[in-house]
Structure 1
Amino acid sequence: MNAQYDVVVVGGRVAGASTAMLLARAGAKVALLERSAYGSDTVSTHGLMRAGATQLSRWGLLDKLTGTPPIRSTTFHYSDREPEQVSIRPGGGVDALYAPRRQLLDRILVDAAADAGAEVRHGVAVTDLLRDDSGRVTGVRLQDRSELTAGITIGADGIRSTVASATGAPVVRRGRSCSAVLYRYYAGVQTTGYEWAYAPGGAAGLLPTTDGATCVFVATTPARMRSLRREGAEQAFATLLADMAPSLTDLLIPATPVDRMHGWAGAAGFFRQAGGPGWALVGDAGYYKDPITTHGMTDALRDAELLSDALTGPGPVPAALAKYQATRDELSIALFEATESVASYTWSLDEIRELLRKVSSAMKAEVTQFVL
């Protein structure tokens, strides 16, 4: 079966579903394709920062995060001093932050795309791109050999993007640092806010998430994680949590694990070229940074709106894609560089405090982008 669309979006997670929703709301005929099952889980940092929460509010979706507690404080734990608590003040049209489970957030965004008129298909794998005689991308070929044609094909399919690979999208900037992460969900953790902990060589954290669960993570260099995991993931998790955050370990004494351990081996960050003839990239497919600053979902929501605005605005598409890339990079570079430094794990405790101030400052530009 062949079908004609204005836009085919490959990847139906945060970036892809948001892009499909916004383009469909603008009147485009959109197909949204996702290889995983509807409402399935995926590796995630969970935390929505202010810009992301603001966008969900403007889109009429924030109140759908049912069962996800509002987060109104952040506590920073350092191994050389007492914890420091910071209140999250109202701003940008929201009075709290949120850390939803992906089964909930992805489903909300996919449903919003379908409600806007997008045709949503789950369990669909894209194997190749279609091209015309000039080499311009004109759609996708699916695993069942059917084809969907479109004016533009958007890759929102993660760091190992099929669309990026098939187009040869060049990496225009590459990072060097990366975190290896273990995380698990617990019930019964007595915390109501974000808890971040830092000690030489690593970090840990707690994020209150959906349905009474708390995501507990530990992060360090890939080399150290590999060494610790020789004794098993459970031992590595316990060792890192005790080293990084003994005060957080105490919070887990009455808590109960509610699922298995999850892991991320680490990958260096990058910026890819954001588009070309008949194609564009959004989310981790186009720009990825280390998860230690828990900003990936917020980046995905931001870039979905930037790309949608570019494609529905006046002027030729090549110029719009160039502007999209320039804006994406301008809003991203300061946080990317700060995240690189945090993920090196070579800092002293005085240095990590300064780096975290840089992280906070870098977030303000994207809040301004969508609020003012």
Structure 2
Amino acid sequence: MSGTDVVVCGAGVGGLATACALGGLGLRVLLVDKQPEIRPVAKGEVFQPGSLPMLRAWGVAGHLEKAGALRLDRLVARDPDGTARMTLDYGLLPTGSGNWLLAHDYPAILRAFTDALPPSAELRRGTVVDDLLGAADGRVTGVRLRDGEEVKAALVVAADGISSRLRRAAGLDVERVEYPHRLVAMELTDAPEVDPDFSAYVTPRGLRLRYALPGGRVRLYAQVAPDELRGADESRLASWVAGLVRDTPALAPLQEALRAAVPRRQTLPVARALAPQLTVPGLALVGDSGHVVHPMAAQGMNSAVADAHCLAELVGRCGELTATAVDHALLGYGRRRHADLTLVGRTSHNAARMVTDLSWAGRLLGQRALRHTGANARIRYTVMHNMAGLGAHPLTPLDRLHQIGLLPDPRARQQPAWA
């Protein structure tokens, strides 16, 4: 039997961020992941401004910049022809932490985190966790690996995704609510240059999301029905691309690149979830193991970074890593993060509904919300500030009425008073 201070299970962004944050405290961290190498998955490619200070503190930002990460200055909701309905101009945010989005593909982001791991963090890939170890009182005290090794630890972190084996082993549950659509992800190469922004096109067939990646590449997500492209042959894929461009004329310059990219597409399920409880004695949930959101608002990866930062902040106050001190920190982590994640989930869900709901009522409300939010400087800034992760300022019921145009807002041309 071996021992360490912390075992982190799962080397996605949540697990790597946790290893960086806790390892940065000088703690011995064992980070394990069942995959033998990084896989090319289209997810988690945009950091919000609120994540940037943590990325700098952990040394990740420097590796991302060396790898050519791009700064995106706006998030824009557009009509199919490209006309902007609502523009969140990140340049208006305070400049102290960085007032831009930072984009790179997911494998490059994982490599940047890996390169930034502190000396006290050990990464073992191709290592499967079979079960949790527990004390007589039920407290989690470590993990059992598939090769039979038992690792004792003062803290175990489950960062092993939405289907988390460790979460289930700890008796924690989460209700996953599936959206009635999927997202097709495509990486376009040799494509014409696009604006340096995060553009969401609102079309009669749902969301089309586009942003630039380093190396002259473009990421495009397209909303589809669950079985829309299942088993599609070359002719059907070509017809689908033609329909996509016909429905979204602003994407016409990308049509040839789309045709080349669609055979390599990834079709991703989309869901939302928040575990009622993020901790048990000795164990914390981080990232997708505890919460998932629709990617429309670019919140998932940033929430995992915030999880890691919060956990490290509270564990750092423990002094010695006694069971009592760690569990006290976990209680604080669970309370603080659950409150923040409830707002993040609501923000992401509302943003997704505005552009993905294809019902008559959903499209009408979504169009009104985009139009009136886009014309209201106060609400627009509040939404942007919340999405950027710079502090929680929830919209009031009165704000919601202003947002869908049922009441005029006499403060619509002003910045929020708290700004």
What is the TM-score with the length of structure 2 in the denominator?
A: 0.77
Among 162, 165, 168, the residue aligned to 2:165:
162
Distance 2:257 2:129 in 1: 46
Unaligned runs of 5+ in 2: 319-323, 375-379, 393-419
* Superposed CA offset, 1:100-133 (max 9, x none): 11211111112222x3411110111111111222
CA distance change for structure 1 residues 318 and 201 in 2, over 3 Å: closer, same or farther? farther
Distance 1:217 1:350 in 2: 23
**Per-residue deviation, 1:359:** 4.7
**Per-residue deviation, 1:290:** 1.9
**Per-residue deviation, 1:189:** 3.3
Among 302, 305, 315, the residue aligned to 1:298:
302
Q: Does 1:12 align with 2:11?
A: yes
CA distance change for structure 1 residues 147 and 228 in 2, over 3 Å: closer, same or farther? same
Distance 1:217 1:78 in 2: 16
The amino acid of 2:386's aligned partner reads A
**Per-residue deviation, 1:41:** 2.5
Conservation of the 8 A alpha-carbon contact between 1:50 and 1:92: no
**Per-residue deviation, 1:247:** 0.7
Q: What residue number does 2:77 align with? A: 76
Conservation of the 8 A alpha-carbon contact between 2:4 and 2:30: yes
Q: What residue number does 2:135 align with? A: 132
Q: What residue number does 2:270 align with? A: 266
CA distance change for structure 1 residues 285 and 139 in 2, over 3 Å: closer, same or farther? same
| Structure number with larger C-alpha Rg | 2
After alignment, is 17-26 or 249-258 more displaced? Answer: 249-258
Q: What residue number does 1:351 align with? A: 369
SS at match of 1:124: coil
Among 90, 108, 111, the residue aligned to 1:104:
108
Aligned residues: 363
**Per-residue deviation, 1:236:** 8.6
Question: What do you get for the CA RMSD once the two structures are aligned?
Answer: 2.9
Q: What residue number does 1:363 align with? A: 387
SS at match of 1:98: strand
Distance 1:122 1:76 in 2: 40
SS at match of 1:304: helix
Among 325, 342, 345, the residue aligned to 1:333:
342
Among 233, 236, 248, the residue aligned to 1:245:
248
CA distance change for structure 1 residues 277 and 64 in 2, over 3 Å: closer, same or farther? same
The amino acid of 2:214's aligned partner reads T
Distance 1:355 1:168 in 2: 42
CA distance change for structure 1 residues 184 and 350 in 2, over 3 Å: closer, same or farther? same
Aligned sequence identity (%): 25
CA distance change for structure 1 residues 254 and 25 in 2, over 3 Å: closer, same or farther? closer
CA distance change for structure 1 residues 107 and 330 in 2, over 3 Å: closer, same or farther? same
Conservation of the 8 A alpha-carbon contact between 1:174 and 1:269: yes
**Per-residue deviation, 1:186:** 0.8
Q: What residue number does 1:24 align with? A: 23
Unaligned runs of 5+ in 1: none
What is the TM-score with the length of structure 1 in the denominator?
A: 0.86
